[in-house]
Amino acid sequence: MDKNVKHREIRVSTLWYRILKQWRVLLIAGLIFAVLGAGYKYAGMAAANASAREEAVDTQDAQETGNADEQSAAYYEIITRSQQQMQDVQSYLGETILGKIDPSSEPVASATYVIMQQSDAASAAYSPDYAAQEMSLALQNDLDWEAIAKTQNTKSQYIYELVGFDVIVAESDSESSNEGSNESKTTPMIMVTVKHYDMEAAQEIRDAIDAQVQELFTGLNVSDYYTITLKDTAEQYVVDGSLLSWTNSRLNELTSLKSNIERLQSEKDQYTSGTASSAVILSSSDMAKGCLKYAAVGFVGGVVLMMLLMAFYMAVCGRVLSAEELNRVFGLRLLTVMPEKKQHRTAFDRAVARLDADGRNELTEEESYQLAVQNLLAFYEGREGSILLTGDVPEDLLQHVMEQLQSELKETRLQFACCTAINRHPAAIKQLQGSDAVILVEKIGASHYKNAAADVEIIENHNKLIIGSIVL
């Protein structure tokens, strides 16, 4: 019998079931090793950073001149200036009205002004073209842009870039009756155009400019010889190719600034790494990634290690792991297997229970005892006799099993007695001798195979029949 025990086979499914039942222990072991792994990695990286900082300080102190620091400061200044410039361009594009206009359907409100001379002496003092140019400059430079901008709740610079001033010279032929010849006369005009993404806003800006035109013209020297008159106004939607070019140039400017900043930063880093310490100081994000990686490895390693330790212990401890294995080792007949006292509380517990080859929780305790009674009655077929319950379990458990069997078989002529570990209690031999048969009672995870083997050997030496086993 000892030979069979020494060469018993443990099914992999049984090991998996017994190990996974302890999943909470595995989880705790994994968490402990995860903390240890992360702590080990953090300590190593912190020490490396401290060493790198010391090396950087030593290298800086060892430099004979301050050229490296000056060069690094120059790079920093240029990069900072470029970054500020890029932020200004981005802010401008976000606020300017011009950037919100659709070039393919641009609303434009225009006003055309005619410059008329008051007398023939006007052209002698100032040419009509000169008068028109003076007025155009006055409109560009002397308009109250701030007042117009307030009506649109924006900045004056964003209004100024929406407005265009063009001098147009129209020629007309008039026949001179005195000289009998044609004399070409020119009529200068000023066209004011206002673009906007909203036509009503463009009209409001145009009207605000018109309100200041007469006052501005009166302040010019040419006003003594010329007058300015509003000829007409117009509104239309146009395709503006120049606005599309402007938008593309701004986007190209942003792209160029970004590329320059990246290039300067790369040059600065290369220069710094070439002149300063070669040691690398890890950033907080790099340290976090390293700790997370080691925590994951530690968790998996801790779970695997604990599983191996559990499997090794189960293999060498010599305890009963399943009813199926117990009966296979000793060639016994299973009367019943009792359900576990603790019910499965989580979904994972219930999933693990499916791996149990004994199916311990398929029946209730009452149903399990009824199954044991049915198997026992099928064996005895109404005969009378004395049955001894024994095994490597505490006396109170044997007493409980005996009482349950007696309550189910009180109307039969079967008598029951119990004693624990007859191989260690010589007085129990008398009970064995007075019994007709024996039922072996063992507990999973508690009963030892060596004690069960010793009990079976004594029973066989006394030529007593082992009816079967009840596994708790």
Indicate which CATH number applies to the domain containing 120: 3.30.70
* Alpha carbon distance 235, 237 (integer Å): 7
Number of separate helices (H) and strands (E) present in the chain: 17, 9
Tokens of 192: 């004011």
Pair (464, 338) in one structural domain: yes
Confidence of residue 2 (pLDDT cuts 50, 70, 90): very low
Rounded CA-CA distance 62/200 in Å is 69
- Mean pLDDT in the chain? 80
Do 228 and 269 belong together in one domain? no
One domain for residues 324 and 458: yes
Residue 360 binned pLDDT confidence (cut-offs 50, 70, 90): low
Q: Answer whether residue 430 shows pLDDT above 70.
A: yes
User: Which pLDDT value is given to residue 280?
Assistant: 66
Q: Between 111 and 21, where is the model more confident? A: 111
If asked whether residues 119 and 94 sit together in one domain, one would say no
185: confidence class by pLDDT, cuts 50, 70, 90? low
Q: Which of 155-169, 227-241, 417-431 shows the lowest mean pLDDT across its residues? A: 417-431
> Does residue 469 surpass a pLDDT of 80?
yes
Inside any domain, residue 465: yes
Q: Are residues 233 and 248 in the same domain?
A: no
Question: pLDDT tens digit string along 151-176?
Answer: 889 888 889 889 998 888 876 554 44
Answer yes or no: is 2 within a domain.
no
Question: Secondary structure of 332-343 in the HEC alphabet?
Answer: CCEEEECCCCCC
Residues 111 and 94 in one domain: no
- Please determine, for residue 213, whether its predicted confidence score (pLDDT) is greater than 80: yes
| Residue predicted with more confidence, 74 or 65 | 74
Query: Between 174 and 280, whose confidence is greater?
Result: 280
pLDDT at 398 over 60: yes
User: In angstroms, what CA-CA distances link 323 with 8, 329, 337, 382?
Assistant: 13, 10, 7, 27
Confidence of residue 425 (pLDDT cuts 50, 70, 90): confident
Residue 181 has pLDDT above 50, yes or no: no
Classify residue 38: in a domain, yes or no.
Answer: yes
Reply yes or no on whether the pLDDT at 436 is more than 80: yes
- Residue-level pLDDT at 343: 59
What is the domain count for the chain? Answer: 3
Q: Do 393 and 439 belong together in one domain?
A: yes
Residue ranges of alpha helices (H) inside 284-385 are 284-316, 323-330, 347-353, 365-380
Higher pLDDT, 55 or 232: 232
Whether 11 maps to a domain, the answer reads no
Q: pLDDT tens for residues 250-278? A: 888 888 888 888 887 777 776 655 544 55
Please indicate, yes or no, whether residues 70 and 83 belong to a single structural domain of this protein. yes
Can you give the CATH number for the domain in which 442 is found?
A: 3.40.50.300
Q: Are residues 341 and 462 in the same domain?
A: yes
Tell me, yes or no, whether 325 and 460 share the same domain: yes
Residue 70: which pLDDT band, with cuts at 50, 70 and 90? low
Q: What average pLDDT score do residues 395-420 get?
A: 84
In a domain? residue 120: yes
Q: Is residue 156 part of a domain?
A: yes
Give the pLDDT confidence of 8-23 residue by residue, as tens digits: 677 777 778 788 888 8
Q: How confident is the model at residue 67 (pLDDT cuts 50, 70, 90)?
A: low
User: Is residue 226 within 8 Å of residue 128, measured between CB atoms?
Assistant: yes
For 228, other C-beta atoms within 10 Å of its C-beta total 23
- Residue 371 pLDDT > 70: yes
**What is the arrangement of strands in the sheet containing 437-442, beginning at the earlier edge strand?**
334-337, 465-471, 437-442, 385-390, 414-418
Residue finishing a domain among 218, 238, 258 = 238
* Contact of 335 with 439, CB cutoff 8 Å: yes
Structural element, H or E, at residue 227: strand 226-238
* Of the residues 259, 278, 313, the one at which a domain ends: 313
Q: What is the pLDDT of residue 183?
A: 47
Please give the pLDDT value at position 180. 44
Q: Could you give phi then psi for residue 50, rounded to 5 degrees? A: -60, -40
pLDDT band at residue 283 under the 50/70/90 scheme = confident
Query: Is 275 part of a structural domain of the chain?
Result: yes
Give the per-residue pLDDT at 279: 56
314-327 average pLDDT score:
81
- Is there a domain that residue 408 lies in? yes
Range of the structural domain that residue 412 is part of: 318-471
Beta bridge partners of 388: 417, 438
Q: Identify whether residues 112 and 212 lie together within a single domain.
A: yes
Report percent pLDDT > 90 for the chain: 9
| pLDDT confidence of residue 278 | 53
For the chain, helix, strand, coil in percent to 5 are 60, 20, 25
From 264, 292, 313, the end of a domain falls on 313
pLDDT over 70 for what percent of the chain? 85
pLDDT for 182 = 46
Determine the pLDDT at residue 10. 75
**Pair 322, 467 in one domain:** yes
Q: What pLDDT was estimated at residue 428? A: 78
